[in-house]
Amino acid sequence: MDYLPVFLELRARPAVVVGGGAVGLRKVSWLLRAQASVTVIAGELHAELAALAAGGQITHRAGQFSAQQLCGAVLVVAATDDREVNRAVSLAARAQNIPVNVVDDGELSTFIFPALIERAPLLVAVSSCGHSPVLARWVREQIEALLPARIGALARFLGARRQSVKRTLAALARRAFWEGIVTGAVGSRVLAGDEAAAEDGFVRELRSAQLTAGAHPAGAPLGEVYLIGAGPGDPDLLTLRALQLLQRCDVILYDRLVSPAVLERARRDAERIFVGKESGERGQQERINALLVSLARAGKRVARLKGGDPFVFGRGGEELALLAAHEIPCIVVPGITAALGAAACAEIPLTHRHLAQSVTFVNGHQREGAPADWRFFANPSHTIVFYMASAQLPEIVARLRAAGAAAGHPAALIEQATLPQQRVLRGSLADIAALAAAAGIGPPALLIVGEVAAFAPAEALAQVGVPARSAGALA
């Protein structure tokens, strides 16, 4: 190890920055955030530094650098664009045993600044020890994506309760208790922004830990369920919150539409249970309900992972109601629904200033006598996205035609949207069913109907403001 990572307390301590340009400003900002007492030595000051000096937040010493100016400093930064000056600063600091950083010059530095994630009071510092700042920043971004936005609030929440836990629990029981709080329902409540519920849970868990400390040092943790939308298939379309909770859960109940690539992103040692419904299979939802309740009751963090969005043709509402009835805490995480994923991949804008003013998502797998008024769907300047469309494509087309849609009404069929196997067929009501049969299109597939289904970006660009193709012309 070439460097020892430490966090310095600099409050009100003297720190010196030599150099008053943009680079110096960046370092001064960091030092001010750590509440250091900052002196900047520079002939000229960047406008923002000048403002800080005028406001009394930093001290400015004009003129040349001299070694005596470092006297008493606990930290020195050289940020001039003159290597000789930087070298002189480095020599002077080292002679006085003051840690010194010369920006972008490892040889002259005795300490380096890490790439930092600041979610105060939580800090994550990453360094490549000068080998590749770009790599360090990239690693920081990867970690940042995994850290919930409210992780700092969680740190504060825990910090504020340390003393009371210390008074209540013996040292041995404490660690297990804290682990249960951080990784369990109380932690997730804080991260979801509900500190009142978190406080209730905390008090309950502390009491139970106190009562059971002899028998089970950790007490019985509360389980919970995350109702997560997994998006249309491409794992890069997961939300950050989905990713964070997938890293946190103990068990995953997943549907057929959840792609293996998405499951790959979940915690390695989380148990995976497939609960996909083959169409028409009865009793499966009851099995899922029973599993959700029993796992959560056993104290597990259960990720209920559904394709697309849990509230779009996903029975998310029913599962939410079930959990509420059993008083099991639940967090709902939206996902990119298949219609949005498919539209993006097929480059079909679902609404368009000239082509479509509204969009409707319809269950294409409707039983006979479905109530919707299809005359509205027959209007080509309204976009309809039919989910579960592949099996009943001819019936859907027939109903649209019967409701008054023209034969040339544009239609597009997208199979396995956002996945490497994705296929897009474009046509009209006259031929889309035949095209699909010839291509052997199967589930999962979506049918998009409306003027936008014929959208061609190049044409639209060529005739700005004019619809690329009109249904009438095709009919």
Catalytic residues: 255, 277
Tell me how crowded residue 314 is: count the other CB atoms within 10 A of its CB. Answer: 21
The interface region with ligand SAH, picked from 18-26, 82-90, 312-320, 403-411 by CB under 6 A, is 312-320
The interface region with ligand SAH, picked from 15-23, 189-197, 200-208, 410-418 by CB under 6 A, is 410-418
According to CB under 6 A, which one of 253, 445, 454, 471 is a site residue for ligand SAH? 445
- Spatial neighbors of 4 by CB under 8 A, at least 6 apart, are none
309 binds ligand SAH (CB under 6 A): yes
Cβ nearer to ligand SAH, comparing 177 with 313:
313
Among 178, 181, 176, CA closest to 215: 176
Cβ nearer to ligand SAH, comparing 226 with 387:
387
CB-side neighbour CA atoms (13 Å) of 379: 12
The interface region with ligand SAH, picked from 170-178, 214-222, 323-331, 384-392 by CB under 6 A, is 384-392
The interface region with ligand SAH, picked from 158-166, 292-300, 423-431, 443-451 by CB under 6 A, is 443-451
List the structure tokens of 100: 């010194």
Between residue 289 and residue 308, which ones bind ligand SAH under the rule CB under 6 A?
Answer: 306-308
Strand order in 271-274's β-sheet?
271-274, 251-254, 301-306, 224-229, 330-333
Residue least distant from ligand SAH (Cβ): 308
Matching residue, tokens 């504020």:
160
Three-state SS for 183? Answer: helix
According to CB under 6 A, which one of 254, 377, 387, 455 is a site residue for ligand SAH? 387
The interface region with ligand SAH, picked from 47-55, 58-66, 381-389, 450-458 by CB under 6 A, is 381-389
Among 165, 166, 167, 198, CA closest to 184: 198
List the structure tokens of 14: 């003297």
389 binds ligand SAH (CB under 6 A): yes
The interface region with ligand SAH, picked from 10-18, 73-81, 86-94, 383-391 by CB under 6 A, is 383-391
Cβ nearer to ligand SAH, comparing 39 with 416:
416
DSSP tag of 453: G
Cβ nearer to ligand SAH, comparing 153 with 346:
346
**Residue 383 near residue 350 (C-beta atoms within 8 A):** yes
Three-state SS for 110? Answer: coil
Number of residues counted as binding ligand SAH (CB under 6 A): 25
Residue type, 454: A
x/- mask, ligand SAH, residues 47-86, rule CB under 6 A, reads: ----------------------------------------
According to CB under 6 A, which one of 20, 184, 219, 314 is a site residue for ligand SAH? 314
According to CB under 6 A, which one of 39, 69, 86, 337 is a site residue for ligand SAH? 337
CA dihedral for 246, 251, 192, 123, sign (positive or negative): negative
454 binds ligand SAH (CB under 6 A): no
**Residue 235 near residue 264 (C-beta atoms within 8 A):** yes
Question: How far apart are the C-alpha atoms of 92 and 73, rounded to whole Å?
Answer: 12
According to CB under 6 A, which one of 10, 77, 322, 342 is a site residue for ligand SAH? 342
DSSP tag of 162: H
Region for 68 from its dihedrals, namely left if φ exceeds 0, alpha if ψ lies in -120 to 50, beta otherwise: alpha
According to CB under 6 A, which one of 254, 313, 377, 455 is a site residue for ligand SAH? 313
Question: How far apart are the C-alpha atoms of 154 and 150, rounded to whole Å?
Answer: 6
According to CB under 6 A, which one of 15, 446, 448, 471 is a site residue for ligand SAH? 446
**Residue 99 near residue 93 (C-beta atoms within 8 A):** yes
Cβ nearer to ligand SAH, comparing 338 with 378:
338
Between residue 186 and residue 245, which ones bind ligand SAH under the rule CB under 6 A?
Answer: 232-233
Cβ nearer to ligand SAH, comparing 34 with 424:
424
According to CB under 6 A, which one of 418, 426, 433, 436 is a site residue for ligand SAH? 418
Residue type, 301: R
List the structure tokens of 362: 């319809």
Rounded to the nearest whole angstrom, what is the least distance from the CB of residue 349 to ligand SAH in the complex?
17
Matching residue, tokens 């600041």:
118
Cβ nearer to ligand SAH, comparing 34 with 344:
344
Tell me how crowded residue 420 is: count the other CB atoms within 10 A of its CB. Answer: 8
Tell me how crowded residue 434 is: count the other CB atoms within 10 A of its CB. Answer: 13
Contacts with ligand SAH, residue ranges (CB under 6 A) = 232-233, 257, 306-309, 312-314, 337-338, 342, 387-389, 414, 416-419, 443-446
